[in-house]
Structures are given as structure tokens and as C-alpha cells.
Amino acid sequence: MKRRVVITGMGVMSSLGHDLDTFWNNLMAGKSGVSVIQAFDTSEYTTHIAAEIADFNPEEYMDKKEARRMDRFVQFAVAASQFAMKDANLDIQKDTDPERCGVYVGSGIGGLGTWEEQHKILLDKGPKRVSPFFIPMMIANMASGQISMLFGAKGPNSTAVTACATGTHSIGDSYKLIQRDEADVMICGGAEATIRPTGMAGFCALRAMSTRNDEPEKASRPFDTDRDGFVMGEGAGILILEELEHAQKRGARIYAEVIGYGMSGDAHHMTDPDPEGAARCMSRAIRDAGLEPSAIDYINAHGTSTPVGDKSETTAIKKALGDHAYQVAVSSTKSMTGHLLGAAGGVEAVITGLTLHNGKIAPTINLDNQDPECDLDYVPNVARDADVRIAMSNSFGFGGHNATIILKKFEE
């Protein structure tokens, strides 16, 4: 039999909060984390807004010297992992074999801020002034590396870099590592920090982001007729996955069980999604979980608030679930958190796990005029009480990378 895998700890860094209670309460209240960007002057940009973490002090989670040697995305990952480990009440050195504990934390873009700063130094002062920490700070795998060093995790250690599917791929791959007995514990998820001049300029050039600058809190509006693009977010979402018996032996609190994982590639276009690929991904996850489509109660949608993407995902859900699609509650929490790119799947897996654990579904806010071509139940504007048994979380990335995980309300 395949080994069962459960979630025993979660940690977030988000514009909606730095701890699970604050984060969850803000989601339930339908609060937007979007505001005018404070990090740099956006006057020449078409977009001036983002879901920025304005009050983050890395020295609350590491000493000053360590912080200076980490890019902001790594700082987010390290902070969220500390929250997750504390939430799981797990000490790797005492509670498990360090060689059976791994780390799999991804980032879609990595150390963009470090790259910007060091490139400017190169141009202004020459190559001899570039920091010796430039490469170790910038590379996307350093979140996994730093977390493993912090906790002494000597098991499988890897990083996914699959754009906006990164976090979900990281969690799904970690689930499979435990399931096939290559680890007992995995610290997994995603981290991102791209609210930077270059990052914003690139996405503005793509015309992918909302320009509703006069109403930041209403800018991210998935499935709404008046949506005009996504809103950038930043932060991290980290989960502690454990093999069931390992968790039970140490008396761990269990949020939910991971039961399915699907992956697919669109083989279609760099940036425009193909609903066939997304539907295939969901179907693979459902098959991996040993379920029928009718078993799905809730979907945390990728739901980015782009005109093409939301329509494509709606079509994909219908292809994967058939008529049952109209019976499923679907919400896009990006309406509140913004789009955290490589961290999105991690944060949204946390939300999906809390949905199962708490029996409440987070709303899709700003859904005032539902697009007729997006005709599912998107839990508009107000949180909903619901006995969710089986939940799905979708992530789709540039390049046609698709990932879906399925979580189940835990039952012994």
C-alpha cells in the first residue's frame, strides 16, 4: 500500500498577515492586501499597485549578518518555514531522523532584487565590486538550501522553477517522495519577491497586470466582467508534510491529508493557457487520488484575474468535472492576496488545508458582475460555511506548466 501523507504544519508570509490566525481571519473577512507600491517610485509605470508586504523585518527571524546574505524571497521562505515548523511542533533533531527529512521550496523567478542591485554595481563600479554573495543570494534553490541548513534537514533537497505552478509542484513532488518512502517529513512550498522595478516593468510590458490604480483593493477581481489583469503579490507559503504514522507517533495535530497530484504541459504557447492542458492536469490528480470527479467539493482556483486565464480555467474545470462542475464551490483567493507567482501554490495550499480543517470557504472578492463565460459558483464576496471533504488546488504557469493537488479532510 502507498504510504499516507498528511499536513501537520503551515506557515505564511503575506500582505494579509505573517501568522496563520491573522492571515485566515483576513481571508474570512474578505480583506484585500493590495495597496499602492511603497518600495520604489512607480510614476513611470502603467501599474502602481501590488500586494506588498510593507512591514517585514527579516531581523525578527534571523540575525542581521544572515539577513544581508539572503535575497528577500529567501528571507520570506526562512520566516514562513519557522512558522510552519513551530506550528507542527517539530524538532528534526529530536523527533525524526534528519536524513529522512527533506526540503523542497521553489521560486518562479528567484533573487530578482539581488540581481538588480548587483547589476547596477557592475555598471557603476565595475566587476571587482560585485558581491561574492551575488550568485548564492540570487539562485532560486537557495531557499531550500537555507532552510535545510537552519533545521539540519539532510534528506531530499530540491527546487522547482515552473513559473506560477512552482509552489504546487513543490508540494506535489514532496508528497510523492514521502509516499514512495524516500522521506518521512518534507518542508515544502514556494517563495517570491518580485515587486521590484525590473519585475514590474516586465509584467507591465506584457500588459498582464491590472491598471486599476485608483482602486487598489478592487483591482484583483477574478471571474468578473471588469477584470483587467492580475495584481502582483509577494511572500511565501510553507507546509510540513509527514507520513501518517510518523505524525501520529509524535502526537501531531493533522490539518488534512494529501491524496492526489497531477501534472501536465500545454505544449501550446508561452503565456496563453490552453484549457485542455489544465483539464488534463486536474483529471490526472483525480485519477491519482482514486476518485471520481463527483467527489470534489471545493476548488481553490488559479484565478489570476486576467481576461483570458479565468475563462480558460473555467472551461478546464468543466472539461475535467463534467456536469459536476456546477455543483462545486470555486474561489480565487488571489482576489485578496494578489498573485504570488512561484509562491502562489504554497499559499493556496495553506488556504485549502485550512478550508478542510475549519469548514469555511474563503470568498472571491470584487466579484460584482460575473462574466457570463465564467458561470460556476465562485463564492462571491462573502465567506461560506461548508463541510468540505475533498478539495483541489490549481496552479498554472507560463510555458504551459500545470499542477494540481488534492487534499482530503483527515480521517483515521
Q: Which residues carry out catalysis?
A: 164
Closest CA to 112 of 140, 84, 90, 144: 140
Q: Which long-range contacts link 323-328 to residues 24+ away (Cβ below 8 Å)?
A: 324/293, 324/294, 324/296, 325/376, 326/375, 326/376, 326/377, 327/294, 327/377, 328/296, 328/297, 328/298, 328/299, 328/376, 328/377
Under 8 Å between Cβ of 53 and 14: yes
Cell matching residue 74: 529567501
Q: Is the dihedral of CA 286, 289, 295, 297 positive or negative?
A: negative
How far is residue 221 from each of residues 42, 128, 211, 257, 307, measured CA to CA in Å?
A: 22, 47, 12, 30, 10
Determine the Cα–Cα distance for residues 40 and 32; give it in Å rounded to an integer. 21
Which amino acid, one-letter code, is at 184? D
For 157-226, the DSSP string reads: EE----GGGHHHHHHHHHHHHHHTTS-SEEEEEEEE---SHHHHHHHHHTT-B---TT-GGGS--TTBTT
Residue spans of alpha helices (H) in 69-108: 72-88, 92-95
C-alpha 32/C-alpha 77 separation (Å) is: 22
The 3-state DSSP composition of the chain as helix, strand, coil percent (nearest 5) reads 40, 20, 40
Cell representation of residue 136 = 548564492
Cα–Cα distance, 293 to 297 (Å, whole number): 9
Query: What contacts 24+ positions apart, CB below 8 Å, involve 213-218?
Result: 213/36, 213/47, 213/48, 213/49, 216/32, 216/34, 216/35, 216/36, 216/49, 217/32, 217/34, 217/35, 218/32, 218/366
